[in-house]
Amino acid sequence: MKGRVEGKVAIVTGAARGMGASHALCLAREGADVAVVDICKEQAQAGYTMGTQDEFEKVANEIKAMGRRAVTAQCDVSNAEEVEAMVNTVMQEFGQIDILVNNAAIVLPVIPLWDVTEAQWDKVMEVNLKGIFLCCKYVMPHMIKRQYGKVINIGSVWGREGGQGAAAYSASKGGVHNLTHALAKDAAPYNINVNAVAPGLIRTPMQKASQDVLAKGMGVESEELGKQFISMLSIFGREIPAEDVSNAVLFLASEESRSIDGMVIYVDGGHNAA
């Protein structure tokens, strides 16, 4: 049976682990060739921990094992020269780009705004918001040339309502949502759909690192704090698997969503309805 994105080429940023890896593998299972993009650096500060080179290669090898083509591209999405070089590499390898999943993001430890440094604020904005701008800037001209494209930005439930102790992250994701609305209007004449997926609480290495730091500061067990988060953020009272977010990404990357544009789809366990 033909896959839902058969013959398409996708770029997924932040794809070495967590949700990004899930998105990349989901698209490959449905027929896409995938550029696995990640900065691949280990940094000690909570929320800044990226995928390792081994994880990077593991995702690409799993894609190849499915019979799809994969290329790895090490790239800091907040650096214009690196993004341009990454896009050029993908074009040389595959000759086209049909799907762009802007997943790369960082989150600070949960702290009030007045304790956030200027450097921390700038870093969150550079990766979470500027990174999407740069990836779109260098990818979309190739989509415009072919009069086809699917751009999926990863937002957050906190981009709608804000999260306590997460002002920088919430502001950046609110920006992602508004960028999605505006960019959809610019891109529609070229047959390019631009949408966003806004997850709720998803268990990823980045989320776990932030939760561990918060739990330590509160003097509670991390797993117990995680259970409290789930009860607050999901009306189902259960964790949201990364695969559920990936399925929404797949839908927006497929032709099934051709009449959906400029939307933010919440995959948040019903929190948006509460």
Residues identified as active-site: 169
Q: How far apart are CA 185 and CA 182, in angstroms?
A: 5
Residue with tokens 């593998």: 25
β-pair partners for 102? 153
Q: What is the DSSP string of 152-213?
A: EEE--THHHH--TT-HHHHHHHHHHHHHHHHHHHHHGGGTEEEEEEEE-SB--HHHHHHHHH
Q: What is the Cα–Cα distance from 70 to 195, expressed in whole angstroms?
A: 24
Helix (H) or strand (E) holding 243: helix 242-253
What is the helix, strand, coil percentage profile of the chain, to 5? 55, 15, 35
Which structure tokens are listed for 165?
A: 């102790």
The CB density around residue 26, as the number of other CB atoms within 10 Å, is 25
CA-angle at 141, arms to 138 and 147, nearest 5°: 145
The angle subtended at Cα 82 by Cα 79 and Cα 83, nearest 5°, is 85
Nearest by Cα to 246 from 67, 20, 2:
20
